[in-house]
Amino acid sequence: MKYVDEFRDPAKARVLVHAITRRLDGIASRRQRPLQIMEVCGGHTHSIFRYGIHRMLPSTVEFVHGPGCPVCVLPMGRVDDAIALARQPGVIFASFGDAMRVPGSKHSLLQARAHGADVRLVYSPLDALQLARDNPRHQVVFFALGFETTIPATAMTLMQARADGVHNFSVFCNHITIIPTLRAILDEPQLQIDGFLGPGHVSMVIGIRCYDFIAREYRRPITVAGFEPLDVLQALAMVIDQIADGRCEVENQYGRIVPEHGNPLALAAMAEVFEPRENFEWRGLGSIAHSGVRLRAGFAAFDAERIFTLAHRRVADPGDCQCAEVLKGMIRPPQCRLFGGACTPQTPLGALMVSSEGACAAHFRYARHGMALPPAATTTSAATAT
């Protein structure tokens, strides 16, 4: 597959791992602890584990998994509200697959479906809008979540709904924005992040200049990264180079997709449909100012929160839950006292274990055994320099 296979080339991977190892060796003498690089985005967490990148790197660098998983940070109270919507008679509740298994205080959406709620899986908000057109006697509610990557799609869908006069369609908006999240992480006093891999697809919409404050105010380097394994390794090499050189810049490894100033059409659609909320609650991180968006007044007719009465209960995580600490990168998944015991992908207590690229689920699936795996077998792709 074009633009995919080339960025999974193992020979180039070896070149990058070699370069990274050498650069780290060069700075080893001035460091007491491994370099800690946070990958913000859940998609990067997934890539790291899926391709075994975490096993390819020397012990002088570690990934700290950031909170960039919009499903993982959805508060239980909002999940309960979603389920309440799904349970309304006459409602078809449309959701991405990612959110189906997230536990609310009693159930998940999937379990609610088993109890009779009409919950449908969709790939795109446009499909949810089509469901509304196809089912004029039902109210279709779309569970909108995601960062700025996804907000323009919801925006465009709502603009279409309004233009086409589709009156039985509404959106339950749980969209969040990345910059306040990054500030919350950077403001966390106990955190020791040396550099960041920036979210490639969010940046495709918002550009890279909005990260300037990270370099300027917080003096940390950030390299915006793509999601193929070579992208992740190359971005890692670039941010390590910055650290070794003593630079603090915003770099773009994903130039083939990410324009410096983002996508103006997408940004315009977002601005037309959405406005910032004063506060939005994040699971594990508490309330973060201006981190959520809601529908503007002009789209009130499509706002599920205005159409339906929702409980808006704040539901605390189970007492033992340490999702917050993992989300902030303060502990690793295996250090959570519930990890692998009470909390597993089959019996998830927190959202980090439910979402497929939540740090805990990824770690459990791909890395929990802790044991070394036997050395790589010699295959046809034997080691040769490119």
Partner 1 sequence: MTLRDTHVNMGHGGGGQAMRELIADVFVAPFDNPLLATMEDQARLPLAELAALGDRLAFCTDSYVVDPLFFPGGDIGTLAVAGTVNDLAMGGARPLYLSCAVVLEEGFPLEVLRRIVASMQQVAAQAGVQIVTGDTKVVGRGAADKIFINTAGIGVIARGIDLSARNARPGDIVIVSGHLGDHGAAILVARNQLALEADIRSDCQPLSGLVAAMLAVCPEIRCLRDPTRGGVATVLNEFATASGVAIRIDEDALPLREAVRGACEILGLDPLYLANEGKLLAVVPPAHADVVLAAMRAHPAGVDAAIIGEVIDQPAGMVFMQTGFGGQRVVDMLVAEQLPRIC
Partner 2 sequence: MCLGIPGQIVAIVDAQRQLATVDVGGVWRTINVAFIVDDAHPVHSCLGQWVLVHIGFAMSRIDAQEAERTLALLTELGEAQAEMAAMGEIPEIPEIPEIPEIPEVTAMAAIDGNPATDNDRPA
Of 71-90, binders to partner 2 (CB under 8 A) are none
Asked whether position 116 contacts partner 2 by CB under 8 A, the answer is no
Residue 152 binding partner per list partner 2, partner 1, none, with a CB distance cut-off of 5 to 8 Å that depends on partner kind = partner 2
Asked whether position 6 contacts partner 2 by CB under 8 A, the answer is yes
Q: List the one residue from 276, 318, 334, 345 that touches partner 2 (CB under 8 A).
A: 334
Cβ atoms of 330 and 191 within 8 Å: the answer is yes
Q: List the one residue from 90, 136, 298, 341 that touches partner 2 (CB under 8 A).
A: 341
Q: List the one residue from 26, 90, 136, 255 that touches partner 2 (CB under 8 A).
A: 255
d(C-alpha 101, C-alpha 237), whole Å: 36
The residues in 134-173 that bind partner 1, with binding defined as CB under 8 A, are 146, 150
Nearest residue to 145 (alpha-carbon basis) of 171, 118, 107: 171
Q: List the one residue from 55, 167, 209, 216 that touches partner 1 (CB under 8 A).
A: 55
Residue 238 binding partner per list partner 2, partner 1, none, with a CB distance cut-off of 5 to 8 Å that depends on partner kind = none
Stretch touching partner 1 by CB under 8 A, among 25-33, 90-98, 244-252, 259-267? 90-98
Residue 381 binding partner per list partner 1, partner 2, none, with a CB distance cut-off of 5 to 8 Å that depends on partner kind = partner 1
**Which one, 309 or 372, has the nearer CB to partner 1?**
372
Q: List the one residue from 1, 137, 187, 384 that touches partner 1 (CB under 8 A).
A: 1
d(C-alpha 106, C-alpha 285), whole Å: 21
Is residue 281 classed as helix, strand or coil in its secondary structure?
A: strand
Q: List the one residue from 20, 37, 49, 198 that touches partner 1 (CB under 8 A).
A: 49
d(C-alpha 291, C-alpha 181), whole Å: 7
What are the two backbone dihedrals, phi and then psi, of residue 384, each rounded to the nearest 5 degrees? -140, 145
The residues in 212-271 that bind partner 1, with binding defined as CB under 8 A, are 229-230
Asked whether position 365 contacts partner 1 by CB under 8 A, the answer is yes
Stretch touching partner 2 by CB under 8 A, among 206-214, 278-286, 304-312, 337-345? 337-345
Asked whether position 284 contacts partner 2 by CB under 8 A, the answer is no
The residues in 31-70 that bind partner 2, with binding defined as CB under 8 A, are 34, 41-44, 46, 54-59, 61-63, 65, 68, 70
Asked whether position 73 contacts partner 1 by CB under 8 A, the answer is no
Q: What is the dihedral of CA 261, 224, 199, 31, to 10 degrees?
A: -140
Asked whether position 111 contacts partner 2 by CB under 8 A, the answer is no
Instruction: DSSP for 145-171, please give it.
Output: EESTTTHHHHHHHHHHHHHHT-TTEEE
Label the pairing between strands 279-282 and 286-289: antiparallel
The residues in 98-117 that bind partner 1, with binding defined as CB under 8 A, are 98, 100-101
d(C-alpha 281, C-alpha 299), whole Å: 22
Size of the site for partner 2 (CB under 8 A): 91
- In angstroms, what is the minimal distance from the CB of 87 to partner 2? 25
DSSP assigned state of 256 = T
What are the two backbone dihedrals, phi and then psi, of residue 197, each rounded to the nearest 5 degrees? -95, 115
Cβ atoms of 350 and 360 within 8 Å: the answer is yes
Asked whether position 179 contacts partner 1 by CB under 8 A, the answer is no
Q: b/e map of 269-308 (b: 16 or more CB within 10 Å)?
A: bbeebbeebeebbbbbbeebeebbbbbeeebeebbbbebb
- At a CB cut-off of 8 Å and minimum separation 6, what does 211 contact? 182, 198, 203, 222, 224, 250
Asked whether position 319 contacts partner 2 by CB under 8 A, the answer is no
Q: b/e map of 76-87 (b: 16 or more CB within 10 Å)?
A: bbbbbbbbbbbb
d(C-alpha 247, C-alpha 308), whole Å: 51
CA atoms 314, 81, 358, 333: torsion sign: positive
Stretch touching partner 1 by CB under 8 A, among 29-37, 248-256, 274-282, 376-384? 376-384
Asked whether position 79 contacts partner 1 by CB under 8 A, the answer is no
Residues that bind partner 1 (CB under 8 A): 1, 4, 8-10, 13-14, 42-43, 46, 49-56, 69-71, 96-98, 100-101, 120-124, 127, 146, 150, 229-230, 345-346, 355-357, 365-369, 371, 373-374, 376-377, 379-381
